Amino acid sequence: MKAKLIIITIDGVRSDALVAARTPVLDEIKSQASYSMNGQTIYPCATLPAHTSLFYGIKAEQHGVLTNESYPTIRNFTTLFDEAWLADYKTGAYVSWFQLTNTYGDREKLNYVHFNRFYKRREGRLIGDFYDPYESYMRGLCGFLRQHDIDLLHFYMEAPDVWGHFNGWMSKEYLHAIEVSDRLLGRTIDEIRAIPTFAETTFLITTDHGGLDKEHVEDTPESRTIWFMAMGTGIKQNYALKEFSILDLAPTCARRLALPINPQWQGTVLDIFTQ
């Protein structure tokens, strides 16, 4: 059976927020994972530039995505998703922000996409409910995976960033968004593992940036410091890496899937594998 990898990004979660919020699911995952709480995202530390760096494996100066409205300017470049597709893996994305589908590389090589903008806002204010549709969005993932036998998936969880922008990073509403996300993540992972073809899935869970006050545009430790956890067969358990860069995730995921490592990628394979 092919290796399966699910990359989960929980948007805008500061490392110290995982201490301040009650996150029993992520605490338990961490005890079974290789992890770092003291990594660095790229600058500009915004959602689209950082996700592009995660999947392209290069800094923003090279991929050209400097804002949340940009498109990659680099051409003829092989990303993590491109490598997976070339190796006959099925690739997929389950996202609530369609712009993210530009961050994987050549969209022709993305086999399956589920997109659902589950909430509405106008002029920085929420219109209608947030958490019920967020839960429905999360619940839909397993149906998507049962329908499509995806090998490499990006799954995006947006809530903490939304509430950080509304009420401020580390506000009680922001920490609540992390706590709800933690609970829903636990249920989602349990349900995924109950699908026979996904029982041996590797999970890599991370964030794209932190935040300070109601933003994450400044180059501050609060916005630049990020974390990751990787859990699965053949990955060291309860193993702390002192540091990592978001640029290390593409080569590390490639290693997990036994894919070629593009020499143009700027990170290194993290020391998380048992052999």
Those residues whose C-beta lies under 8 Å from the C-beta of residue 91, and which sit 6 or more positions away, are 81, 84, 85, 104, 109, 110, 111, 112, 150, 151, 152, 153
Considering the complex, state which of residue 23 and residue 47 has its C-beta at the smaller distance from Zn ion.
47
Please, what is the Cα angle at 23 between 40 and 245, to 5 degrees?
Answer: 10
Q: How many residues bind Zn ion (CB under 5 A)?
A: 5
Q: How far is the CB of 135 from Zn ion (least distance, A)?
A: 20
Considering the complex, state which of residue 59 and residue 109 has its C-beta at the smaller distance from Zn ion.
59
Q: How would you classify residue 88: left for phi > 0, otherwise alpha for psi between -120 and 50, otherwise beta?
A: left
Burial of 218 (0-12, 13-18, 19+ CB in 10 A): middle
Binding piece for Zn ion, criterion CB under 5 A, among 110-118, 142-150, 154-162, 173-181: 154-162
Q: Map the footprint of Zn ion across residues 77-136, applying CB under 5 A.
A: none
Q: How far is the CB of 211 from Zn ion (least distance, A)?
A: 8
Those residues whose C-beta lies under 8 Å from the C-beta of residue 157, and which sit 6 or more positions away, are 8, 9, 10, 11, 138, 181, 184, 185
Considering the complex, state which of residue 12 and residue 251 has its C-beta at the smaller distance from Zn ion.
12
Token pair in block for residue 171: 């506000």
Strands 91-95 and 112-115 come out as parallel
Q: How far is the CB of 75 from Zn ion (least distance, A)?
A: 25
For residue 208, state whether it binds Zn ion (rule: CB under 5 A). yes
Q: How far is the CB of 193 from Zn ion (least distance, A)?
A: 27
Q: How far is the CB of 215 from Zn ion (least distance, A)?
A: 11
Q: How far is the CB of 54 from Zn ion (least distance, A)?
A: 11
- From the CA atom positions of the chain, what is the Rg in Å? 17
For residue 158, state whether it binds Zn ion (rule: CB under 5 A). no
Considering the complex, state which of residue 68 and residue 268 has its C-beta at the smaller distance from Zn ion.
68
Q: How far is the CB of 90 from Zn ion (least distance, A)?
A: 26
Local structure of residue 221 (DSSP, 8 states): H
Show the binding pattern over residues 33-52: x = contacts Zn ion (CB under 5 A), - = does not.
Answer: --------------x-----
For residue 161, state whether it binds Zn ion (rule: CB under 5 A). yes
Distance CA 119, CA 104 (A): 24
Considering the complex, state which of residue 50 and residue 58 has its C-beta at the smaller distance from Zn ion.
50
Token pair in block for residue 23: 């996150």
Binding site for Zn ion (CB under 5 A): 11-12, 47, 161, 208
